[in-house]
Amino acid sequence: MNISRRTVLTSSAALAAASALGFRPDQVLAAEGGTLRLAMSSDLGSLDPGYFTSLPAEIGTLFCCMPSLARPRQDANGTWGWEKTEFCEMLEQVDDLTINFALKPGYMWSDGAGELTAEDVKFSFERMIGSDWGGRFEAFDRVDVTGTHTGTIVLKTPYVAIWMVALAYDSGFILPKKAVEALPDGRLTTSLPAQLGPYRFQEWIPQQKTVLVKNPDWTGTPAAFDTIEFVMVADSKAGELALQAGELDIAGLLPETAANFEAAPIPGTSFVNIPGTYYQWIGLNTEHPKLADLKVRQAIQRGIDVESCLAAAYAGLSPKATGIVPIGILGNRAQAGYSYDPAAASALLAEAGVSGLSLTLHYNVSNNEDAVIAQVVQANLADIGVTVELMPVDSGVYWNLGIEANGDDWKDLQMTIMAFRTGPDPLDAMQWFPASQYGVWNWERWKDDEFESLWTAAISEKDVAKRGQMYERMQEIMENTGGYVWITYPAVLYGVSTRVKPAFYPGGDYRAEEFATA
């Protein structure tokens, strides 16, 4: 039974009641043509690239309404690289330390903020150095302005990841210098003083939506929609229902639902599974007395049935991880160095002379999948005689567990279900594990000389294949500490209205400016 909504309304008494109350029946239908509605699970916080949280609504707005020199693009093999944008006449890395750029003349900022110039580029990149995201600009020295539209980006040290980590992604936005400097303390908040892009940021309605409209003055690639709305959807089930009711054009799906969509999509929708850029693992504190013996850690690596975790938590839609570099990014490993083998696990425990081991497993309650994984892990390890106590904690507690500066929890931390997010370069994923991160984000608490020297060397390695091998070797070193049980790179699962043609950034963030009508 699939009567259209209009039929139901006109055929029932509801119409009379509805019009008596002033309801407009046309509102019942999804907005047609003009509006693109994208589901968001978190609200907008700040639009300043130096101080935002890089939430989807934030970078979605900036990609639509602000210029940059380069943006990510996937090659035929699915590996992420970069390309120059339509704002650039020329963009070229001359040597290890020099990048030249030339802007196309004639791009005018809105609100009378003048033309897009090389001064804006200089201002925007140099202000990143001291910002919250300054870590991405450590190798960055300065921008020399050589003309109104031309300039040179100068690095202090060779840094091959500068493109994917800084310039070509969510730290590479160019801001209007004069308009930003005129703001109190020179920061953007939840509005843009001047904009330049196919869409214009119109308003943010807290807890509800962020609204962009077509930029009437835009001369570049034309915008496909009159309006784009990033709509807050707090509950994923509601997002799926709104998609079906025509109130959204794209929404994230729960794994169970996604599995159903894959088999038989609801009419008017299709299913998209995008490789995620989170990497999830179970970390073992290598320094904890109960886990100090490498054999015990290896036993746990072999005692956890990752396939079962994935089947239960992600309905089997997420790939098995082989390390921390997700699929589609340089350095992704073909295979892990161990596999599920309870017999070997028991043997290792026996060899280590350990019995009746009892461990704690911390996870973040905000992630439903983690609770499922935790329960499978508990059952798996029970099979090899290890008792696991589940320790769900809220995210405020969770993210401080292993940080020495923020309390004493790290001292008794044993196992943790962890997930970090990476940009489209392996360096971004790897940066939380060198010795400097010991006691900060390296909660497995190890240091390794070979890892350190590879980490330093890979930063300036220009040979792509060689660089990839270095990162693979680094993951092998991590694995050999016994501190890691790789779980998955959680797949990003969407239901999409057949009305639109979606486009995505690495990790499945909406590329709203490239969405088109189907």
Rounded Cα–Cα distance for residues 73 and 222 (Å): 19
Would you state the structure tokens that stand for residue 199, as one six-digit string?
């869409």
Number of H helices, E strands in the chain: 15, 20
Contact map string, positions 100 to 129, toward other proteins, x by CB under 8 A:
------------------------------
Rounded Cα–Cα distance for residues 102 and 146 (Å): 10
Tally Cβ neighbours within 10 Å of residue 81.
Answer: 16
Question: Could you say which of 31, 294, 372, 435 contacts other proteins (CB under 8 A)?
Answer: 372
Question: Could you say which of 38, 44, 179, 459 contacts other proteins (CB under 8 A)?
Answer: 44
Is residue 457 a contact point for other proteins (CB under 8 A)?
no
Q: Determine the interface stretch with other proteins among 80-88, 142-150, 215-223, 236-244 (rule: CB under 8 A).
A: 236-244
Comparison of 65 and 165: residue with beta carbon closer to other proteins: 165
Phi, psi angle pair for 284, to nearest 5°: -115, 125
**CA 516 to centroid of chain Cα atoms:** 22
Instruction: Enumerate residues 6+ apart whose C-beta is below 8 A from 11.
Output: none
Contact map string, positions 349 to 368, toward other proteins, x by CB under 8 A:
----------------xx-x
Question: Could you say which of 10, 11, 26, 53 contacts other proteins (CB under 8 A)?
Answer: 53
| Least distance (Å) between residue 211 CB and other proteins | 11
Would you state the structure tokens that stand for residue 318, as one six-digit string?
């997420």
Question: Could you say which of 26, 34, 186, 399 contacts other proteins (CB under 8 A)?
Answer: 399
Q: Report yes or no: 273 and 491 within 8 Å, Cβ to Cβ.
A: yes
Rounded Cα–Cα distance for residues 355 and 98 (Å): 59
Instruction: Enumerate residues 6+ apart whose C-beta is below 8 A from 67.
Output: 85, 87, 107, 116, 173, 174, 196, 197
Do you know the residue count of the chain? Answer: 518
Q: Determine the interface stretch with other proteins among 332-340, 374-382, 449-457, 462-470 (rule: CB under 8 A).
A: 374-382
Question: Could you say which of 208, 219, 221, 456 contacts other proteins (CB under 8 A)?
Answer: 208
| Least distance (Å) between residue 511 CB and other proteins | 22
Rounded Cα–Cα distance for residues 437 and 441 (Å): 5
Phi, psi angle pair for 447, to nearest 5°: -135, 145
Tally Cβ neighbours within 10 Å of residue 237.
Answer: 11
Question: Could you say which of 209, 297, 302, 467 contacts other proteins (CB under 8 A)?
Answer: 209
Question: Could you say which of 14, 102, 274, 352 contacts other proteins (CB under 8 A)?
Answer: 14
Is residue 256 a contact point for other proteins (CB under 8 A)?
yes
Question: Could you say which of 407, 412, 462, 516 contacts other proteins (CB under 8 A)?
Answer: 407
Is residue 340 a contact point for other proteins (CB under 8 A)?
no
Nearest residue to 124 via CA among 164, 180, 86: 180
Is residue 432 a contact point for other proteins (CB under 8 A)?
yes
| Least distance (Å) between residue 212 CB and other proteins | 16
Give me the residues paired with residue 279 across strands.
420
Q: HSE (CB half, 13 Å, CA atoms) of 305?
A: 18
- In 192-309, beta strands by DSSP E: 199-205, 209-214, 227-232, 250-252, 269-274, 278-284
Count of residues of this chain found to bind other proteins when the rule CB under 8 A is applied: 79
Q: Within positions 278 to 317, which residues make up the interface with other proteins, using CB under 8 A?
A: 308, 311-312, 315
Is residue 38 a contact point for other proteins (CB under 8 A)?
no
Is residue 227 a contact point for other proteins (CB under 8 A)?
no
H or E element, residue 250: strand 250-252
Comparison of 6 and 462: residue with beta carbon closer to other proteins: 6
Is residue 394 a contact point for other proteins (CB under 8 A)?
yes
Q: Within positions 160 to 189, which residues make up the interface with other proteins, using CB under 8 A?
A: 187, 189
Is residue 492 a contact point for other proteins (CB under 8 A)?
no
Q: Determine the interface stretch with other proteins among 157-165, 228-236, 287-295, 489-497 (rule: CB under 8 A).
A: 228-236
Question: Could you say which of 393, 436, 460, 499 contacts other proteins (CB under 8 A)?
Answer: 393
Tell me which amino acid residue 41 is: S
Is residue 206 a contact point for other proteins (CB under 8 A)?
yes
Comparison of 352 and 397: residue with beta carbon closer to other proteins: 397
Question: Could you say which of 153, 254, 282, 359 contacts other proteins (CB under 8 A)?
Answer: 254
**CA 23 to centroid of chain Cα atoms:** 40
Comparison of 238 and 435: residue with beta carbon closer to other proteins: 238
Give 21: exposed, middle or buried? Use CB within 10 Å, 0-12, 13-18, 19+: exposed
Question: Could you say which of 115, 126, 132, 448 contacts other proteins (CB under 8 A)?
Answer: 132
Q: Determine the interface stretch with other proteins among 63-71, 327-335, 397-405, 505-513 (rule: CB under 8 A).
A: 397-405
Comparison of 5 and 156: residue with beta carbon closer to other proteins: 5
Is residue 391 a contact point for other proteins (CB under 8 A)?
yes
| Least distance (Å) between residue 132 CB and other proteins | 5
Q: DSSP string of 4-34? A: -HHHHHHHSTHHHHHHHTT--GGGGSPPPSS
Is residue 78 a contact point for other proteins (CB under 8 A)?
no
Rounded Cα–Cα distance for residues 319 and 326 (Å): 10
Comparison of 172 and 198: residue with beta carbon closer to other proteins: 172
DSSP label of 319? P
Q: Report yes or no: 293 and 354 within 8 Å, Cβ to Cβ.
A: yes
